[in-house]
Every structure is written in C-alpha cells, then in structure tokens.
Amino acid sequence: MNRPYIEFRKQRDFSSILTDTFGFIRNEFKPFIRTIFNIAGPAIVVFLLSLAAYNYVAGDLFNFSSFNQPSFNSTSVFVTVIVAIIYLISAITAYILTASTTLFYIKSYVDRKGSIDAAEIKSNVLKSFWSFFGLSFLKGITLIIAIMLCVLPALYAMVPMAIVFSVYVFEPKRSTSDAFSQSFTLANADFWTAFGVFLILGVIYYILSLVFSIPSIIYALIGSGIFSGEIDPANLNSFSADPVVIILNVFNTFFQFLLNIILMVAGAVIYFHLHEKTNFTGTYDRISEIGNTED
C-alpha cells in the first residue's frame, strides 16, 4: 500500500507544522524506526547498558553505610569514573547518530518524492558524524551561554539551535560554521511560529515523559516505605542500586529518547517552512515541474 506523500518544501501555518510532523511519523513509522535502529541501534543499546551500569555502581558508591567497610576502596571510585565516561560517550554517539539518521531519512524522502535509500542514508550518517559532533558542541555551548545570560536569550537561542542540524543536512554546500550562522538568519523569518510549535511540543514531551516515569515513581514510593510509613534510611542509601529501579529508569530513558525524535522531525518541518518563506525554492521547483509536465 502506497503511503501518502507529505511535501516538506512549502510554507505552513502553526497547525500545519504540528499536523505534518505527526503525519510524517505516522505514515513512515515502520521504515523510519527500522532505519534509525539499523544505524543508531548499537549505540543506543550501549548507551542504555552503560546507563544501567552507571546507576548500579553509582548507587553502590553513594551507599554511605559502606564507607567504613573493607569492601569500599578506591577501586569503586575508579570503576564509577570509567562507567561514567563510557556512559557520556555512548550518550553523545547515540544522540548524534539518531539525529543525523532522522534528518538524512527526511532528506532521502524529499529527494526521492516519498521513497528512501537506506544505504545512502547510512553512508551520509557515517560521513557526517564529526560534523554533527562539532555542531552539537557549538549548540551546547550556545545554549549554556544563553542560559547563563538570562531566560530571554535562552528562549531566543532555542529556535535556531533546533534547526541548525537541518540547515547542515538540507544545505549540503554549507560548512558547520555556515550552518550555525544560517540557523539564526532563518529563525528570524518567522520566529514566533517556530517558537510556539517548539513550546507546544515541549509541553507534550514533558507530559509524556511524566506518564512514562509513573511506574518508576510508584515503585520508588513503595520501596522507600513512604506508603507504609516505615522509612528505613539504610534502604534509601542503596535504593538507587535496586535492579528494578535501574530497569525502570532505563525504560523511562529509552522512551524519552524516542520522544526526542518528534522534536527532530519538527525541526526539519520548521526548517523547510522558514527556508521556503525566505527563498521560495520549493515553490519555484513545483512551478518548473508543472511546466515540464505540460511540455
């Protein structure tokens, strides 16, 4: 069955951006998610396993009742540091591979009018890894500086930083520094529409994250003895190393990771809206296609 094609290269209003974001995910869900897991899956698995390991060793490290025990030594600290480093590297890698796979999937989808080339997507993702790493670094530094300055600069920087990856992918002639500066230029084309969309999606993301975290919260309340009124400080010290807590936290993080894909797709939809509002590239291309058809 042919899936309906969503035209990215056009201007949209507020509701159309939201509709097409979720419409694309719904229409392309199976091949889209399959492509993401085929490329970014190993990094995501390492990320989740290292998260579980970090929760376990960190929970054991911060069990203050064991400080005077013979089993507690500098090895525990060393293992925690190593696991934390692996966790950090795998988290960055998983984020970059997921973001680049998402955007190169959309690029293939747009270029091929609804079909995709999985081999081409994977090749582009691997070739652009370090460029995405550099943009991620610039993105992180920008947001940190904006937050340190004040709330308003942080809110303003949110929109260009949300589309900076899209600028790099969909305008391949640009370098990472050009893509970074161009993201601010495009954001000014229709800032408030883009800001409103990300605000609504942020609220949706937050609510769904809370829903997914409910099992962890309930288990934590039961395990800590709050419901029964019998709170044992010794249990609280080692609670974070509880295997059930670790598993629930891993699943919660995994679902939040998947939810983040919605924001990535929305960033691409908003990019095309801003780019079309500024350059009318898609409009000119469609006019040319109509002329060629008539000929």
Share of the chain above pLDDT 70, in %: 82
Work out the average pLDDT over 31-35: 96
> So what's the pLDDT on residue 217?
82
Work out the average pLDDT over 38-66: 81
Distance from CA of residue 37 to its chain's centroid? 14
> So what's the pLDDT on residue 112?
92
pTM of the model: 0.87
Work out the average pLDDT over 132-146: 93
What distance in Å separates the CA atoms of residue 232 and residue 225, rounded to the nearest whole number?
7
CA dihedral 274, 276, 282, 288 (to 10 degrees): -170
Closest CA to 137 of 185, 97, 96, 195: 96
Work out the average pLDDT over 125-146: 94
Does position 283 have pLDDT exceeding 90, yes or no?
no
Helices 191-223 & 14-27, crossing angle to 10 degrees?
Answer: 60
Work out the average pLDDT over 142-148: 90
Q: Lowest-pLDDT range, 2-6, 36-40, 62-66?
A: 62-66
Does position 74 have pLDDT exceeding 70, yes or no?
no
What's the pLDDT tens digit per position in 244-278? 888 889 999 999 999 999 999 999 999 999 999 98
> So what's the pLDDT on residue 47?
96
Domain regions of the chain by residue span = 14-279
Q: How confident is the model at residue 67 (pLDDT cuts 50, 70, 90)?
A: very low
Tokens representing 75 are: 């090895």
Task: Answer yes or no: are the C-beta atoms of 11 and 278 closer than 8 Å.
Answer: no
